[in-house]
Structure 1
Amino acid sequence: MSRKVDDHITTATEERTEQDDMPVATLPTMTPNASPFLLKVQDVETLAQADGFSILRAHLSEHYTYELCDAHTPAHLENLERWLIVRDVLHALLVPVVELFDKACGVASAATHATKLEDLEYAFTGTARSAFVWLQCFLSSEKERDWCYTRVCPACVVDHSLDSEFSIRLLHAACLLSDVHYPFTIEGPTLPSFMFFLESLEHAIEEDELYGADFFELMQPKAVATRDGVEDLIHQCLELDVLLSQPTSPDPSSPESSVPASPVVGPLGGTPGMKVKRSKMARRQMRLQVEEEQWMEDMLRKCWDQLQPAVEAGLVPVPTRSLDAVLKAGPAVSVDEVIPG
């Protein structure tokens, strides 16, 4: 995924002086045996040539910790750079997914006016809803959010990548998403594709006693499904943004016409004033229904105009029902909205 580096990341960090105590996260010429992940020399060189990743590393060196926890000190202190580069790759992979989910939550809240978090999913359909629910479950844990934002000890962040099937699945899907180029990508410094990291992930899983050699292959279909769902979620968020930005046309017959209607679906339970945005076919059917009713009314009035002289002359019986009663004899039920189950 060609992605623009966050706007809040600036190149000011590149101007730091040599006297700073905080070590600068410079890319080494090679990264041997960064446990549990391995990076090839050519992969490190590719990262070093990516402007977006260099800016990201400068930002992380300025604002993120370089202190190892007691469990990883002093054994890994001399190999700190090996942990840092993998930590920075994880940050580049995971943070965009979290920010996408937070964006989706905001769009869903505006679209549904939901009062409960569990109702936000109704803003989306199909694979997008599945991906949204999966991310919602995973990111509801502060521990998992901290891991995605790489907020703790760099070595702990790297180790946590293999903590569960869910973390591996998200990391795998994030690698796949990094290789997708969308037409709406903003120009500017971008992060490179991290497809190469899948090989490092596969090797780490195979070497892990908990998972074994077959686990990576078994995980692939789930990761692909998550990737597809997230892609669909992105597109549905864009579509909702367009709909939300369009002015609504209030229904003058509704006492709640001053309340902006949701373009997708009202809260679960059908709160008054919240209507589903009608499709083109539904709007056309309603227009035809109005035209039909108008035609019937005109025809009945013409017939009455023709019969009225004969009725007044006593040549035909007086109608037992008024014209208004005839016009209102049809069903009075109309469907204004359909709330998807």
Structure 2
Amino acid sequence: MLNFDKDRFVGIQSGAISIADDVRSLMKKLISGGAERLFFMGTGGVQLLTLPAIELAGRLSTFPVASAFPAQVVLDPPAGLDDKAVVVIPSLSGTTRESVELLSFLKARGCITITLTGHKDTPLAQEADYNFTNFAEDDTSSEMFYLQTLLIVLALLAERGEYAGYEATVAELKTLPELLVGVKAAFEDTAAQLAATIKDENYHIFTGAGSVWPESYYYGMCILEEMQWIRTRPVHAADFFHGTLELVEPGVSVFVFKGEDKYRPLSDRVENFARRYTDRVRVLDAAAAPLPGISPEVRALISPVILATELERLSAHLEVLRQHPLTTRRYYKRVEY
């Protein structure tokens, strides 16, 4: 596979899942200690990677689990940011400016803080109440944060008696890193062909529903826009027919992401419509990925992980064909924000 280090990838994803026992113990401690609310507050694209876990909590639990933008929180915080609130802050670098400012703000209010970082010797790793550091870089961080935030929510639900299969789910997830290598290998030729097809296209609509909607948003904004300077229009599949459908015409690229949860029919509906009006419909379906030994229940939880690991292969080919490394930015180091 192009520019892929199997051992590095497996090690990073195994490290992500290895926090499962500690997360369960921590959730037990926090719930028994009186925690009443859970927030996820990430800056930029990493916040999108927390949304599938938040959505899962909203379906299975009455415990308040919400998201918020750090840059907004420090200006006008939501209700409930006190010593009964647990706030999870993911940051690959551990130095993200808005998130560092947020951490100080939360500590002053007495909130319980948990950080998920890719580097230990950083402000977010060292100054939080609890930290889980697992070395990762851009090409491996999506799967890592999807898995870690999923484990946090599942541990919370398990402690509240709202999810009975925590140990069994973790056992399956521990086999996932090696299986994801197989997913990448199975998708490699498709990724190469798709990259060759779209390398000169400058606009794409991205859509999905349920747990894969955040990945469609993330890939459009954080990969194609930020790392390739390609214009995109992410739109939730439930909103597609309330505006974006009018942009579909011959030659318009529509990426449809499909998961294995109950929201899949929303993506099917968009695909069926788009195929009637454009010849550029690209479907990425988590259900097509080979994952032997993973139960349907767990597959439904990890659809965004599957798509993220496939899309990394697309990115690897795109940066070569477009002669535009994923690390190249115009403004990232120069913007005061």
Same fold? TM cut 0.5: no
* Rg larger in structure: 1
**TM-score w.r.t. structure 1 length?**
0.25
**TM-score w.r.t. structure 2 length?**
0.25
Higher relative contact order (CA 8 A, sep 6+): 1
Compare the two structures and name the one with the higher strand fraction: 2
